[in-house]
Amino acid sequence: MSYSILDSQPGTLPCALKRAAMDYPSAGLSIFDSRGRRAERKTYPQFWDFVLERAARIASLGLAPHEPVIVALPTSWEWMGAWWGTLLAGGRPVAASGAGAMAAAEAQFEKVDGILRSLSAHWILSSEGFAKGAREHGYTWAEKQVLTHRDLDLRPALPGFSPQLGQPDETAFLQLTSGSTGSPRAVMISQTGALHNALASSIAIGAPQGRPAHEWADAMVSWLPMYHDMGLIGCLMLPIVTGLDSYLLRPPTFLARPNLWLDLLGSHGQTFVPAPNFGYQLCVERIPPERLEGLDLSGWKAALTGAEMVRPETTSAFVEKFEPFGFDGRAFMPCYGLAEATLAVTFDQRGQGVRTLPLPSGAGEGFGMSEVVSNGLPILDTRVEIRSPDGRACAEDTIGEVCIHGPGVFRGYFNDEQATAASLKEGWFYTGDLGFLHDGELYITGRKKEILIVHGHNMMPDELERIADGVSGGGGLCRSAAFSVAHSAEGEEAVMVVEISEPDRLKMREMEQEIRSQIGRHLGLPLADLAFVRRGQIPRTTSGKIQRNELRRRYLEEGLQRLGD
């Protein structure tokens, strides 16, 4: 039944938006202000007209066909106009974290600078504040390559403009995934892949109800950022493709007042929505009892949880706290996905809530788990295999690398043939994640790749190590090494180990303060722990490569000889 769900669907994202304007005229998008109190709404016909106007102005830039255009804006109508306007103007939008997003300002400018260079992009659509900040940080592109909403307002629309609707087999947009600060990777997502993933996800989410989610849901309510694949595909494209209402909170609003998200979920009929584990944990920890008065979560039929390890402790605590307000623990639906799959790969479709198996011996070291969560079955037309290092399929209940095949698998990394060839083989994507299959369902146990996933955001360890080495003077005989550990419901936290030659307590205190300060300022990330060790204590391969997994093991087993303790 491959592609059968697309037989009656538009073949591209622009066509899907155009159809939404015609077929779902009373549905649309609503974006709340920074206080989360007032929402501006555009019906799909109004939204179509809005992005057409933006597209005509963006087209006046003279974009080459499929030219990458960086969209560095927070959740806003400006973001919507820039991203969809670029798509309809014939470019390839690239969503990046912009000023006011969930990251430190300096890290955003540096990240955008790396994206600009790696994609050979000419334009950044962003805010006046972002442009001003980039200039102050010395980025010369901020003078001529950044265009704000006001700049676009001043540009005349391209005469005779008609929207570029694209072809199903084309790359629709580029989705950023993990990478070092200067070398981010851009995943090429096809038009068909985006449409298929949205529709197949709706079918899987609705499985416990016996029909696709968009046939019984009234709306989605999300706080996820638009530069994250879960926010972009799961909370924006899925509603547009299926004609649902979507209500969007700004991420900082949720972080400051998570009760607003639940209030909105409880006031818009039957809903479903994804969030990473830390979002549910935040609701458990930060919403006081007095903020729960009048809350009704009985209409929340599917609480998707993914983007980072699903913690049974978190979901249990959430059920305990919110069950008196109508939340049904069976609504929890763990899922697994990643940008290279467009988004979704598997969903737990049994409608029984979070289900676990005992953690296999030796698996998932450092993730603080005694049990592992079922992420369910593959979505329609998608296959999952667990493979050993030699590429052979593993038997059931055997841990290996998670490999996926299906319509949502990406077309490669933009301008990076080497990375594409290393992970995409004969149509199969080798994810770098470790897990096993049991009764056809996927269980994730850890990662082969050395990525830190903190609060749903991917980060390479060398991003932290570069900063620490700059403070300590390391990088030669002395090095720094970063990895993540997890304990109970808190999820993953970052740990830094720094080698030094001469232990000096005062100097170590000063270095620790400066490393923590710079990592917080540049990356918006707190360190859970920072340990100083003597030179040579960080394990390396014979070629000198840091063995971070071995270092994590020693850290957890208290095998590090820490200085200053």
What's 511's domain CATH number? 3.30.300.30
Residue type, 71: V
* In-domain check, residue 275: yes
Which residue's structure tokens are 């994804």? 274
The pLDDT value recorded for residue 1 is: 33
* In-domain check, residue 173: no
Query: How large is the average pLDDT for residues 393-415?
Result: 95
- Residue 82: Cβ-neighbour burial (10 angstroms; 0-12, 13-18, 19+): buried
Q: Residues 465-485: pLDDT tens digits? A: 878 888 887 655 578 889 888
Query: How large is the average pLDDT for residues 417-440?
Result: 94
- For a pLDDT cut of 70, what percent of the chain falls above it? 90
Residues 326 and 205 in one domain: yes
The pLDDT value recorded for residue 366 is: 52
Residues 483 and 441 in one domain: no
Residues 255 and 115 in one domain: no
Q: Which of these, 357, 360, 355, 320, lies nearest to 334 by C-alpha position?
A: 355
Q: Residues 8-34: pLDDT tens digits? A: 667 899 999 999 999 999 999 999 998
Residues 150 and 217 in one domain: no
* In-domain check, residue 3: no
Q: Is the per-residue pLDDT at 437 higher than 90? A: yes
Q: At what angle do helices 13-23 and 191-205 cross, to 10 degrees?
A: 50
How many domains would you assign to the chain? 3
Which residues, at least 6 apart from 81, have a Cβ–Cβ distance to it below 8 Å?
50, 51, 53, 54, 149, 152
Q: Residues 37-76: pLDDT tens digits? A: 899 999 999 999 999 999 999 999 999 999 999 999 999 9
* In-domain check, residue 549: yes
* In-domain check, residue 368: no
> 280: helix, coil or strand?
helix
Task: Please give the model's pTM, rounded to 2 decimal places.
Answer: 0.83
CA separation for the pair 219, 424 (Å, rounded) = 36
Average pLDDT, the chain: 89
Domain coverage including residue 497 = 460-556
Residues 403 and 345 in one domain: yes
Backbone angles phi, psi at 242, to 5 degrees: -105, 0
* In-domain check, residue 213: yes
Q: Is the per-residue pLDDT at 182 higher than 50? A: no
Residues 285 and 427 in one domain: yes
Residues 216 and 298 in one domain: yes
- Residue 79: Cβ-neighbour burial (10 angstroms; 0-12, 13-18, 19+): buried
Residues 352 and 247 in one domain: yes
Q: Is the per-residue pLDDT at 179 higher than 50? A: no
Residues 238 and 344 in one domain: yes
Residues 428 and 513 in one domain: no
Residues present in the chain in total: 565
* In-domain check, residue 472: yes
First to last CA, the chain: 62
The pLDDT value recorded for residue 523 is: 78
* In-domain check, residue 256: yes
Give the DSSP H/E element, type plus range, for residue 5: none
CA separation for the pair 290, 288 (Å, rounded) = 6
Residues 505 and 418 in one domain: no
CATH number at residue 84: 3.40.50.980
The pLDDT value recorded for residue 278 is: 84
Residues 440 and 515 in one domain: no
